[in-house]
Structure 1
Amino acid sequence: MSLTPTLARTWIDRWDRQQEGYLPDREIMFAVIADAVAANADHPDPLVLDVACGPGSLGARIRERLPQARVIGIDADPVLLELARTAYGFELVDRNLADPAWAAALPNEPIDAIVSTTALHWLYLDQLAALYVQSAKLLRPGGILLNGDDMATAATDIDQLHTAIGARQIEREGVGDREGWVEWWTAVTAEPELATAVAERDNRRWEHPADSGVTYEQHVQALRAAGFRTVESIWQYGRRRIVAAVN
């Protein structure tokens, strides 16, 4: 029995709900990124690369905003890739972004936008800087990179504020009792239709930090060093930001 689009979307919906337990404004981040891609596009069918795409939630929102967009997702998790492939039919690239050769698997054509949400904190600063350099090479002139993530600070008092307002936001939005990360993964790995992908995931056992601690200032410096001509935050809540970099 194979994974059906309906079942894949059920698991992705459950993924989105558990993610909102940590990030109540996740849909707002998706909307801001999709709107920025649309505003920067010079044609109705931009080529968009979603790095560390997971099960395709951001790419799906971009296609809702720009139905003719061509979305390519890249990730190294076979379970999440299988969900994205089955639910959305995206073009997908199975590569680890910590490996500098990840871009070699992409089509040889200019990319209009490179996007990511709440994923690149898994990369160490040197890996992130290398990804930004590669991204600048892949994007067309005038293309845009948009990274939405929790970006650390070097200030303890700001971190304390971030923790306090984040906890209040979760309480206010009523999402504190959502299924957690561990619970979702425990459940999905028991899904018979994903058994092959789960076995492959177990075989890979890649290592990465839960949060590399790269600060907002380091993101900006790395993007400028990569050659982006404009780098600026376009949305923020506490430490969560969306940084836009124009090539």
Structure 2
Amino acid sequence: MDIQRYNRQEKLKYLQGSGQKKLFAASILLVGAGGLGCSVLQGLAGAGIGRIGIMDHDRITLNNLNRQFLYTPADIGRWKTEVAAAWLARFSPGIQSEVYTYRLTRANADLAEEFDLVIAAVDNLETRLLLNEACVRRNIPLIDGGINGWGGCLFYVKQAGGPCLACLYPQAMENDREPAAFGTMAGMIGMAQAQMAVLALTGHTEGFEGKYIWFDGVNMEFHHTIIQPQSGCVVCGGHAQKQAGNESN
């Protein structure tokens, strides 16, 4: 890494001293290289995250281009992972990138163990909940984000503790309708996920446990609700009980 590239942010609280070095040494798995993922990747690269894995199984289409700002019409038909990794190599050659051009499943979820933190930037709840389960059971922090129309949300699932995304959506039903998506919302929530990642990697997530954050893009307002851990949660509830049982043995 070229240290001079980051000398403006090294003056900041949380990054002074060892903070920036923690980012250089950190690894993040980004699941989803669409609207959210493009902005997340830009934020992580700008911060100087040392190693970034990019997972996505889709090719670029014309209707992606209103919000997926890494891609151009010339990229239509190419794999998103391929184009995103090429952009990253041009933008910051010192960052190690890894490409996973396939869909996340339970069979390959062990990949999360190879990273310090995971970011969910996908547009379907099924994958988000699968990723949540994979991270909770492996004690890996997760940053989830989503957009819908003129709004977007952010939720941090901390390492080894609830509440988790399944507490937020205890009886979630997948919606077959493709969500409406505006480019600025993808940019704002994606960058917020990247900011949350920096705070998590430098150990400054006090007050974010259980905080579901919603941005209203029409009134330009942030709101939040505190989500309580659900004792009957099939993901973090059972995992917590199992962990406690192991510690008492």
Q: Could you state the TM-score of these two structures normalised by the residue count of structure 1?
A: 0.40
Structure number with greater CO (CA < 8 Å, separation at least 6) is: 1
Q: As a proportion of its length, which structure holds more helix?
A: 1
